[in-house]
A and B are shown apart, each in its own frame.
Chain A
Amino acid sequence: MASEPHHWRGTEPRRVLAPDGSLVGDPDVGLGPDDLRAMLRFMLLARRLDRECIALQRQGELTVYPGFEGQEAAQVGSAMALGPDDFVFPTFRELAAALVRGVDPVQYLAYHRGTWHGGPYDPRATRFGPICIPVATQIVHGVGYAMGLALDGVRACSLAYFGDGSTSEGDFHEAANLAGVFGAPTVLFCQNNGWAISVPTARQTAGEIWKRAEGYGFPGIRVDGNDVLAVYRETREAAARAYAGEGPTLIEALTYRVGAHSTADDPGRYRGEDEVSDARGFDPIARFRSWLLAAGHIDDDLLAGWEAEIEEQVLTIREGVIAQPPPPVEWMFDWTYADPPSALAVQRSEVLGG
């Protein structure tokens, strides 16, 4: 058996499905067969789309694209655990979570096409925040949003995604501290994928991330991020705590970034191929698929049908991305202020020649 990723060592994470596909926990996480199938299908679509995005970048249709291959379970499992009134604050790598939450992928990818920052989808309508580049800043937003929910007495939560690198930023600390002090109904979801560009987790932080929660006065969980059922269960429970007014939860989901940090990155410069091929031995999709087959929830015909459908879907998304025109240049001026100063109107008319 291949050796597990270096940053998975230490405290045993919570699991339902072991890496070899065997059951080590209770698979009844509250999902029926239809939902379980949907879960796998999302993961398959996400992976296929992720690879298509890399191709699109190589073909000049997208600017720099940050892939997430290997992290499908961490994102799909957690995103499916949220309710319709919950709000997600992502970083820049959460395309899979965006798909689950119903964000239009062409609109999401407009960000990477350089059409518009944040992506032109409506965050309030999709309850999925704009793509956020400055790492950890969005965690604070998640906490603030949760404080707002609590003020309104709404039965919902926020969930902020962030990576192991983000936990070094001051904003991680400030967000976690605020969350603890205010008992904010929020889930701090860390996808610890082993790498912050070229810096491995061991050089990012000396302790285990999930343990920090105790310092802030709320529970921390370590979960196998490549075990989609475990991820789903832990996120579901964290959300339930939040709904019940029991405050925040920190979830550290152990996963692995199989690809490069982004299409502008060359991981061969800092890690070996052996490590990556070993990590593929812990693949989230393979594990879940084999369990679903064994449990009789899917069969090969269904998988074949899905593959064809997913090809179609991805092709449609590809065409949508390519067809996307650049934005009208006046957009640059139209949303800086609700009430723009007259000097800006002068600049706007200079550019538009009007």
Chain B
Amino acid sequence: MVAALNAALRDALADDDRVLVFGEDVGRSGGVFRVTDGLQVEFGDRRVFDTPISESGIAGAAVGLAFAGWRSVVEMQFDAFSYPALEQIVDHVAKMRERTRGRVDMPITIRMPAFGGIKGKEHHGESPETFYVHTAGLKVVAPSNPGDAYRLLRLAIADPDPVIVLEPKARYWAKAEATLTLEGPGIGIAATVREGDAATIFTYGAMVARCLDAAEALAGDGVFARVVDLRTLSPLDTETIARCVRETGRAVVVHEAPKTLGLGAEVTACIVEEAFDFLEAPVRRVTGYDVPYPPATIEHRYLPSVRRITAAVRDVVAY
């Protein structure tokens, strides 16, 4: 995925000379995950540059730069380090268009390595998506694979609205065949990544791969679960969610974020509103627990496991 993201940034910088890429360690060293590798060399330190450790400053500078007609693609070095920027993001990035009645727009992209599963230190495995999805004025995407990562990042950069890009760091180095192209579904459209009719598993980010493993295990027992990669968390693809529940009658939502007020709650509400009559069983959520993200040695007990996912699917199928 790193290569795909890198290509997306490169192509965006080449495509539009108002695009800037900046953040901590993104310039000379190419980013702590190498996502911005080589960009400064190619485009110069005028457009690809390092900043001091200053997340609020980074986000606020992007706001000021937008006033001056620049299109910033900033990096927050890790998910939890976006929190100092939360005020600038919520108060200004998300609201400036509304506040100025469209006169000043915020074509800002804020990317960050997100989610857990890398045996990281404290604050390196957060799932902050709820804060951003809940903030009107923002869009939030979470690609799960290189192809989507390329396309969604390109679209995010081109979007006149501000977009938060949550990159599953546990998948940064996962290899896959992919054609890197802008062709394909836009922001706001989910993908069915595995067909099935017994139940639908809704998920995103690093959990997509895990849900596919779970679906494979279930198929061995004759339970054919559909897996849907939400891809965009805001706006949520409610049409696909409703259609899948109409067709399969059962739903399981899987995410790393803690259970309470995670995306699972929103998906469940959406299902109740849009496909209630078709529910054969309650919606189940397989999520992180309502605790701070745990240390590396027991992280695997917190994250949804294949076993927990298959058990939930079996539960709804047997209801």
Contact = CB atoms under 8 A, between A and B. Distances in A.
A335 B64 contact: no
Contacts, number: 144
Given A137-B91, A144-B65, A144-B67, A130 B99 contact: yes
Interface string B87-109: 11001100111111111110000
16 contacts: A116-B101, A120-B101, A122-B100, A140-B59, A141-B67, A144-B61, A144-B63, A145-B68, A147-B61, A147-B65, A151-B68, A177-B52, A181-B51, A335-B97, A337-B97, A339-B161
Nearest to B22: A147
Interface residues on B, range: 35 or more
Contact of A178 (B52, B100, B139, B235): B52
Find the residue from B64, B66, B88, B101 having the highest chain A CB count within 10 A. B64
A320 B34 CA distance: 57
Interface in B160-186: 160-161
B84 interface: yes
Nearest to A140: B60
Interface string A83-116: 0000101000000000000000000000000001
A141 B102 CA distance: 18
A70 interface: no
Interface of A: 87, 89, 116-118, 120, 122-125, 129-130, 134, 137, 139-149, 151-152, 158, 170-171, 174-175, 177-178, 181, 331, 334-339, 341-344
Contacts of A171: 56-57, 60, 87-88
B101 A144 contact: no
Contacts of B87: 134, 137, 171
B188 interface: yes
Nearest to B136: A336
A141 B97 CA distance: 15
B69 A148 contact: yes
A147 B51 CA distance: 12
Given A124-B103, A339-B160, A130 B64 contact: no
A57 to B, nearest CB: 22
B62 interface: yes
